[in-house]
Structure 1
Amino acid sequence: MNGVQRFSRTALPAMPWKNGGGTTQEIASWPQGAGLDSFGWRVSIATIAAAGPFSVFAGVDRSIMLLEGDGVRLFTHDGRIDHRLDVPQQPFAFSGDDVIDCTLLGGASNDFNVMTRRGQWRADVRVLARASTIEPAPHGVLLALRGEWRLNDEACREGAGMHWADTAQAWQAAPAHEDARLLVVRIVPA
């Protein structure tokens, strides 16, 4: 998976969860072909359609962000975490070691997820609303959340994006309209 790869949300295959509570569309993982117990990092979009527990990923740092829908309440039974994920485009970070339960705040929602193996990788997840220079990172993902963007002179329409591995490059990101939003994930060594 070296170099920059383009993707579209509509073309990503959806894999059902074991518990039947939703589906996942994997955007990218590294190293390529790594399973859920051996990835260094993984980026995906999940549809949460039913209440239930989140999978535990020991030794993994996670970040989740609401894309569309009513959202969910994430909580631990000991009260350490109680978070309403109901505002789109605001990342929420937590440990994959935590036993987290989830209840729907309405209908199904779509969420963006980043998982990085603690001690190996860390992710910087943010949403851009204006023209910016994105600092180089050896791995990462860009996704046009709203509107069209110019990314190093290439057009990137809403719902499309790019991911890369082992290719540290800076990006010049410019929105076509002032209400455009771009999701930026920079994955760097821990």
Structure 2
Amino acid sequence: MLNPSDFPPVPWRNGAGTTRELAAATTPSGGLRWRISVADLARDAPFSAFPGTDRLFTALGALRLTVNGTSTGLAAGEQLRFAGEDDVAVALDQPTRALNVMTARGVCRAEVVLRSAASPGEEGAVATVDLGERVADVFVTDLSGD
């Protein structure tokens, strides 16, 4: 099980926040296949662009995401998918965190299942993330046939 506190925070590409990269896999050519991270959201901020990726964002506390001009409020545990090149910003009432799974478009698709830490997990997760009282099982489906 991956515990985000065991990983050092690193700055976002755009310097507007920090994240903790927990696990990643690459394609045979060395490109990103998938990446699992937990972002420390301390203030309102724009997200970094990741062209060619799809993102599955799971809020771990209440927040608002604006994606290409459309604002969506998310409660803890709610998810939103968007493209890595979309114009995205987060607005907060208080600091929180988010689980972010990025996949190479057309190569993989991610699913995140949140459960109680006391509940058993499902088989086949590529990673399990300790979120305190909750646990996230991350599943990645190969779309490429490799």
Normalization by structure 1: what TM-score? Answer: 0.64
Q: In structure 2, what is the equivalent of residue 189 of structure 1?
A: 142
1:143-178 residue CA offsets vs partner (Å, 9 max, x unmatched): 23344xxxxxxxxxxxxxxxxxxxxxxxxxxxxxxx
Identical-pair percentage: 33
CA RMSD in angstroms, aligned pairs only: 2.6
Shift in Å, 1:121: 0.7
User: 8 Å contact 2:17–2:40 — kept in the other structure?
Assistant: yes
Q: In structure 1, what is the equivalent of residue 103 of structure 2?
A: 116
Greater share of strand:
1
Return closer, same or farther for 1:84/1:120 CA change in 2, 3 Å cut-off. Answer: same
Return closer, same or farther for 1:19/1:60 CA change in 2, 3 Å cut-off. Answer: closer
**Equivalent-residue separation in structure 1 for 2:76 and 2:136 (angstroms):** 11
Structure 2 alignment gaps of length 5 or more? none
User: 8 Å contact 2:115–2:136 — kept in the other structure?
Assistant: yes
User: 8 Å contact 1:21–1:48 — kept in the other structure?
Assistant: no
**Equivalent-residue separation in structure 1 for 2:44 and 2:59 (angstroms):** 16
Structure 2 residue corresponding to 1:76, chosen from 67, 83, 86: 67
Structure of larger gyration radius: 1
Q: In structure 1, what is the equivalent of residue 79 of structure 2?
A: 91
Shift in Å, 1:119: 0.8
**Equivalent-residue separation in structure 1 for 2:42 and 2:85 (angstroms):** 23
Give the SS at the match of 2:81: strand
Shift in Å, 1:132: 5.1
Shift in Å, 1:118: 1.1
Q: 1:2-21 counterparts in 2 under 5 A?
A: 6-21=1-16
**Equivalent-residue separation in structure 2 for 1:145 and 1:118 (angstroms):** 27
